[in-house]
Chains A and B, each alone.
Chain A
Amino acid sequence: MDRKIRVLVAKPGLDGHDRGAKVVARALRDAGMEVIYTGLRQTPEMIAAAALQEDVDCIGLSILSGAHNAIVPRLMELLRQHKLDDVLVVVGGIVPEEDAKALTASGVGAVFPPGSSLQAIIEFIQTHVRPAASLGAAPR
């Protein structure tokens, strides 16, 4: 099975600042991944449905507004319900350190704060997605 890593980049919540989401989406694509960008104001329900439909290996959430505690646990719960708990979830944005610890404890793979390098995000996804996906996705 030779397939590229498929990533859903999503922007949940009411915030419209999409610079980070767009830059990361483009960098992941340039790194050889297949990227689906949901656009703005996605609810956890919409994100879980898209993840299921697109059969993604990773979900990248961009949250700058402080709404992560309302959004991320709900999404993790929905992923479990849809039997998508092997999908890697990463979060980028402004998340207080205490909250970041709670998010990773709830199953989020990593939280990338402002100033994270694109390379670090790419490498993390490549080394942490479920094995079936990473097999065929060796960097060329």
Chain B
Amino acid sequence: MSLKAPPAPSQPAANAAAAAAERHPSEREQAWQRDVLAPALEKSPERPAEFTTISGRPVQRLYTAADLPPDFDFERDVGFPGQPPYVRGIHPTMYRGRLWTMRQFSGFATPEQTNERYRYLLSQGQSGLSVAFDLPTLMGYDSDHAASEGEVGKCGVAIDSLEDMETLFRGIRLDQVTTSMTINSPAAPIWAMFLVAAERQGVAWRQLAGTLQNDILKEYIAQKEYIFPPGPSMRLVVDTIEFGARETPRFNPISISGYHIREAGSTALQELAFTLRDGMEYVEWALRRGLPVDAFAPRLSFFFNAHNDFFEEIAKYRAARKIWHRVMTERYGARDARSAMLRFHTQTAGVSLTAQQPYNNVARTAIQALAAVLGGTQSLHTNSLDEALALPTEHAATIALRTQQIIAHESGVANTVDPLGGSFFVEKLTLDMEQGAFAYFDRIDAMGGMVAAVEQGFPQREIADASYRYQQALEAKRKIMVGVNEFTAEEQPVPTLYIDESVREAQTAKLRALRARRDNGAVRRALDALKRAAAGDANVMGPLLESVRAYATLGEICDALREVFGTYEESALA
């Protein structure tokens, strides 16, 4: 019985041959090949392994100046940190000035329980908050909705109303921490709850710093937590960008995310290209709204994955900065330097972690985090060793945070800026990433932009194909996953966090009390005003804030929007 998989593609070999043909080795290098390398290979041939990155990109034995273009000018093409095209980093001193923000994504069960975890993490030296919401919240359902059964508090914290949002940040001054919120389809109403919670703490919106994920395109592409069709969804995103430009100058209204694209199985290049092209799509929609590019572009932020392949990841981050600088200045005419400066958060690759021998995940995460730091990230989440089993225990979450602290304070890598700059291999990979991304941009532009490409299923197909190729490589052991398809062992399970159904009961009881206590007439009036705004072209943030203040629940708000916008279902392709 066989898998009947198509034969392994010979593409890497063809690519390697093409790359070799472009090289112009010096006489000394040619002499080395002849006098040193050839006899060595004769005596002891290389391992029969496939020398490719985890994305399937062939890697040569050695990189030299011959691998860079003949007209490559390091000072012009790579330059200096804090200076265009920002390949070496966005700050001239990088981590000598300030370390990256250690921002652990966290949330589970009730707002009360998550609030406790936040206070613990802050007491352990974490420097920013990052809220994980449960699936009903991500999908705009209240905890007592039928669709929420079995899901409440499981993958994150349950937030049903302003009351829950206030509980979540009890005892944490919102002007003293920066707060990131991983929320997409219902990003606008959740942000409204956050803004009103800050208001109730006496914190001015202008003082708030943080990030809303709010990236709906990658939901259609990869994570699939969408509610409304693409058009109205994009309008909501632009509403938040417009509102933020006016009211919250220190808050990033969007975090354009490659993380989920990569987790869904894309290659490093696809992650880079689709994410940046998503960013360009948001820029174009905001420009069509009439916003001047420099009024909003400085607050666009990004979010990338840190996967296993160390150098490929570092090249990805360096290329991202260079490409964003080029498209923002050349394609969109940005003048403000900050508009063309790509700032990003990184999370290590959840998908790379294994349920088998889970303590090995500490090592994987450390290597991935190191790549993110060497790539110049602004903030970082390191996954816990129990990632493939459950939401993290406090012990596992602490080790993950300590991993970052070890990199920051013990490894020495934060002492100098872009230590891998000038490496022939890293510079060549960076150039290849840049070239590959622009080739994808051309294809997506030809389809009519990213919304059109998503509707045609293009990025979805590219990712599904890549993920199947990788799975086949694992099955055939062309790629090794330690403890999974090689070096396996029987072992004792690790303790994990278990969330039971009592969370749903607690949230349901709170909802019942809230609906009995609040002024339901005021709720109805606020939701009617929201529907009118949604049906017209007024910015919905105002009516959303009013609905939140009246204690309309997230489910009620999203139902009002569903009524106006309709819902979206993708055609099931597998």
Contacts and interface: CB of A to CB of B under 8 A. Distances in A.
Nearest to B219: A16
Contacts of B226: 16
Contact of B4 (A18, A32, A68): A32
Contact of B264 (A19, A67, A71): A19
B471 A118 contact: yes
B468 interface: yes
Interface string B455-494: 0000000001001100100110000010111000000010
Interface string A25-52: 1110011100101111100000000000
A55 B234 CA distance: 40
A119 B355 contact: no
A114 to B, nearest CB: 5
A96 B498 contact: yes
A41 B475 CA distance: 29
B376 interface: no
B389 interface: yes
Contact of B147 (A14, A19, A35, A38): A14
A22 B475 CA distance: 16
A14 B142 CA distance: 13
A39 B155 contact: no
Interface in B198-232: 219, 223-226
Interface string B494-521: 0010110100000000000000000000
Q: Name which of B136, B471, B573 has the most chain A CB atoms within 10 A of its CB.
A: B471
Contact of A115 (B356, B390, B464): B356
B135 A94 contact: no
A26 to B, nearest CB: 5
Contacts of A35: 574
Given A14-B138, A94-B389, A115-B481, A39 B572 contact: yes
A104 interface: no
Q: Name which of B136, B154, B485, B573 has the most chain A CB atoms within 10 A of its CB.
A: B154
Given A27-B3, A37-B572, A115-B355, A67 B150 contact: yes
Q: Name which of A15, A31, A39, A115 has the most chain B CB atoms within 10 A of its CB.
A: A115
A65 B263 CA distance: 15
A67 B1 CA distance: 34
B190 to A, nearest CB: 16
A108 to B, nearest CB: 16
Contacts of B155: 15, 65-66
Contacts of A18: 224, 264, 574
B408 interface: no
Contacts of B291: none
B172 interface: no
Nearest to B354: A115
A126 interface: yes
B139 interface: yes
A40 B150 contact: no
A89 interface: no
A13 B223 contact: no
Interface residues of A, number: 43
Contacts of A101: none
A23 interface: yes
B367 interface: no
B467 A22 contact: yes
Contact of B151 (A9, A22, A67, A122): A67
B62 to A, nearest CB: 34
Given A17-B223, A69-B150, A70-B150, A118 B574 contact: no
B263 A21 contact: no
Given A22-B574, A30-B4, A67 B224 contact: no
B389 A117 contact: no
B3 A118 contact: yes
B531 to A, nearest CB: 24
A13 B150 contact: yes
A23 B154 contact: no
B394 interface: no
Contacts of B501: 69-70
B149 interface: yes
Contacts of A66: 150-151, 154-155, 390, 499
Given A13-B135, A16-B223, A17-B264, A96 B389 contact: yes
A54 interface: no
B570 interface: yes
Nearest to A12: B150
B3 A30 contact: yes
A2 interface: no
B224 A65 contact: no
24 contacts: A9-B574, A14-B139, A14-B148, A17-B224, A18-B574, A22-B464, A22-B574, A26-B464, A30-B5, A31-B4, A39-B571, A39-B572, A67-B135, A67-B149, A94-B389, A94-B390, A96-B389, A96-B498, A113-B355, A115-B356, A115-B483, A118-B471, A119-B475, A122-B1
Interface of A: 9, 13-19, 21-23, 25-27, 30-32, 35, 37-41, 65-71, 94, 96-97, 113-115, 117-119, 122-123, 126, 139
Interface of B: 1-5, 135-136, 138-139, 141, 147-151, 154-155, 219, 223-226, 263-265, 351, 354-356, 388-390, 464, 467-468, 471, 474-475, 481, 483-485, 493, 496, 498-499, 501, 569-574
Which 8 residue pairs of A and B lie closest in terms of their CB atoms, listed nearest first? A70-B150, A16-B224, A39-B572, A67-B150, A37-B574, A66-B154, A14-B135, A25-B574
Given A27-B3, A40-B570, 9 more contacts: A14-B138, A14-B151, A17-B263, A23-B471, A26-B464, A39-B571, A66-B151, A115-B388, A122-B3
